[in-house]
């Protein structure tokens, strides 16, 4: 991450979120962020496989950056489920409405749309968009949100009929972001396992999604 983007990130929000998570979860998180997770490309490099393709879309040399841009149908469906859930969470947790609307659009762009190119910006969100674009899509999905989220949300919460603090909001939001990304990883690992074993096909997608949820609930 470039130095100018580094200073735009709300690192406290990430710390707050990770503190409450199990050790295994923290391990997954640091591997994903550093790029040293068991992707096809790394496994091939470590000589643990000769198949470096993404198990879901067959992209060659699957790396950590591919996790949140994979266009396989199943992975897209899983992502959309999370987008809908995060949108609902934002609605029920006093999220500034414009922010909610922009974030949901940003998710659906999956890195192909810059934050500042989304529809409906106002003077309130211009500097947030600029900062978030410096940080970028992949880092966003790894919980690195611009500091302006805190400023906009704090103001909105103070003027809403709630006792929710901005720290609680940030912790909830970043947790949801990470859960979305973690779900993609779990799904990918389950499908990879099935393919490696040669068990023809995965069970129906429904079963698979349930398995993902089960693993997620274990943390």
CB of 40 to Zn ion, least distance (A): 9
Per-residue binder mask for Zn ion (CB under 5 A), 70-89, x = binder: x-------------------
CB of 72 to Zn ion, least distance (A): 5
Question: Which one of 62-70, 101-109, 122-130, 211-219 is the stretch in contact with Zn ion (CB under 5 A)?
Answer: 62-70
Question: Which one of 21-29, 34-42, 66-74, 99-107 is the stretch in contact with Zn ion (CB under 5 A)?
Answer: 66-74
What contacts 175, CB < 8 A, 6 or more positions away?
Answer: 17
**Contacts of 108-116 spanning 24+ positions with Cβ under 8 A:** 108/83, 110/68, 110/69, 110/79, 110/137, 111/68, 111/69, 111/136, 111/137, 111/138
Using CB under 5 A as the binding rule, whether residue 56 contacts Zn ion is answered as yes
Using CB under 5 A as the binding rule, whether residue 68 contacts Zn ion is answered as no
Using CB under 5 A as the binding rule, whether residue 191 contacts Zn ion is answered as no
Tell me the two tokens of residue 30: 């640091």
Q: How far apart are CA 180 and CA 137, in angstroms?
A: 13
Tell me the two tokens of residue 208: 């698979």
**For residue 32, which of 146, 170, 181 has the smallest C-alpha distance?**
181
Please pick, from the candidates 9, 14, 43, 54, the single residue that binds Zn ion as defined by CB under 5 A: 54
Please pick, from the candidates 33, 57, 98, 179, the single residue that binds Zn ion as defined by CB under 5 A: 57
Going by the DSSP 8-state scheme, the letter that residue 146 receives in this structure is: B
List of residues contacting Zn ion (CB under 5 A): 54, 56-57, 59, 70
């Amino acid at each position: 991450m470039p130095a100018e983007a580094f200073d735009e990130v709300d690192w406290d929000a990430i710390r707050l979120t990770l503190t409450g998570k199990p050790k295994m979860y923290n391990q997954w998180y640091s591997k994903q962020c550093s790029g040293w997770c068991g992707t096809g490309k790394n496994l091939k490099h470590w000589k643990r496989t000769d198949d470096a393709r993404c198990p879901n879309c067959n992209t060659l040399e699957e790396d950590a950056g591919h996790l949140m841009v994979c266009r396989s149908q199943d992975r897209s469906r899983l992502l959309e489920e999370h987008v809908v859930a995060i949108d609902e969470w934002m609605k029920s947790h006093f999220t500034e409405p414009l922010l909610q609307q922009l974030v949901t659009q940003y998710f659906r762009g999956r890195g192909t749309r810059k934050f500042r190119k989304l529809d409906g910006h106002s003077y309130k969100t211009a500097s947030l968009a600029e900062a978030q674009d410096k940080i970028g899509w992949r880092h966003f999905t790894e919980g690195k949100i611009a500091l302006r989220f805190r400023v906009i949300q704090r103001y909105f919460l103070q003027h809403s009929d709630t006792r929710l603090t901005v720290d609680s909001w940030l912790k909830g939001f970043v947790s949801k972001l990470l859960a979305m990304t973690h779900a993609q990883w779990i799904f990918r690992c389950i499908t990879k396992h099935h393919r490696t074993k040669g068990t023809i096909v995965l069970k129906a997608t429904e079963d698979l999604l349930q398995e993902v949820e089960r693993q997620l609930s274990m943390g």
